[in-house]
Amino acid sequence: MKNIKTNVQKPPSKKKLIIFTLLWVISTISFLLLMTDFFTESPFKSSYIGFYMLLFASTIGIILIYSNYRKAKAIE
């Protein structure tokens, strides 16, 4: 009996890549504005560690989406 591998996750299209990138940029700018109260205080406070972790996780997610897109384009 053959073991058939199927790729459940499809690579993102260029349109989805642009949408995710725009959402990431908008959310990152929004978080920075919320953290600093429109840049009136310093963003380097220990109370903002949750925001930093969320920004880091979203950045890693965008990097993974881009690498998945690049791998799919290299195979074609």
The pLDDT-based confidence of 50 (bands split at 50, 70, 90) is confident
Distance CA 50, CA 8 (A): 32
What is the greatest pairwise CA distance in the chain?
Answer: 66
The pLDDT-based confidence of 57 (bands split at 50, 70, 90) is very high
Distance CA 34, CA 39 (A): 9
How many Cα atoms sit within 13 Å of 29 on the Cβ side? 5
Name the nearest CA neighbour of 64 among 2, 8, 9. Answer: 9
Predicted TM-score (pTM) of this structure: 0.77
Q: What pLDDT is recorded for position 2?
A: 63
Average pLDDT, integer, range 47-67 = 92
Cβ 68 vs Cβ 11: under 8 Å: yes
